[in-house]
Amino acid sequence: MTTPSQAIPGPRDLPVHQGQATTRKSDLTNYRSVNALMESTIGLFKTELIKPGRPWKTLSQVELATAEWIDWYCHRRLHGEIGHIPPVEYESNYYLATTKPQVTTTI
């Protein structure tokens, strides 16, 4: 059992500087949003890869399976909220649409 002095720092432990009290609520909201996203992704990872593959015989098996799952998750998974395309393709399309073409000259 942990005592309060051994507890893991959480959102209430975010630093608050004098005159920035209004920023703390925003920081807390951002922390919760990122935390929820990570918990969701980790839950999906465990459900789709870790639990069905039990018992894992070596750490190397888990490392290789994790690398393969991450590759699938980023490069081949079709994401419904972004038009049923992989996240990497969506990101690529975004940067193509938002970056200004650079002017090059030849001498």
Same domain, 45 and 71: no
Secondary structure (3-state) at 79: strand
Same domain, 44 and 63: no
Q: What is the pLDDT of residues 35-50, one digit of tens each?
A: 888 899 999 999 999 9
Residues 6+ apart with CB under 8 A from 94: none
CA 31 to chain centre: 12
Residue 92 covered by a domain: yes
Residue 29 has pLDDT above 60, yes or no: yes
Same domain, 20 and 47: yes
Total domain count for the chain?
A: 2
Residue 87 covered by a domain: yes
Residue 20 has pLDDT above 80, yes or no: no
For residues 50 and 62, give the distance between their C-alpha atoms in angstroms, rounded to a whole number.
Answer: 8
CA-based torsion, 83, 87, 89, 91: positive or negative: positive
Q: What is the pLDDT of residues 57-87, one digit of tens each?
A: 999 999 999 999 999 999 999 999 999 999 9
Residue 106 covered by a domain: no
Report the percent of the chain where pLDDT is more than 70.
Answer: 76
For residue 90, give its domain range: 57-100
For residues 84 and 90, give the distance between their C-alpha atoms in angstroms, rounded to a whole number.
Answer: 9
Residue 75 covered by a domain: yes
Residue 51 is which amino acid?
Answer: K
State the pLDDT at residue 1.
Answer: 46
- Tokens representing 50 are 């870790």
Rounded to two decimals, the pTM is 0.59
Residue with the bigger pLDDT between 2 and 104: it is 104
For residues 66 and 51, give the distance between their C-alpha atoms in angstroms, rounded to a whole number.
Answer: 12
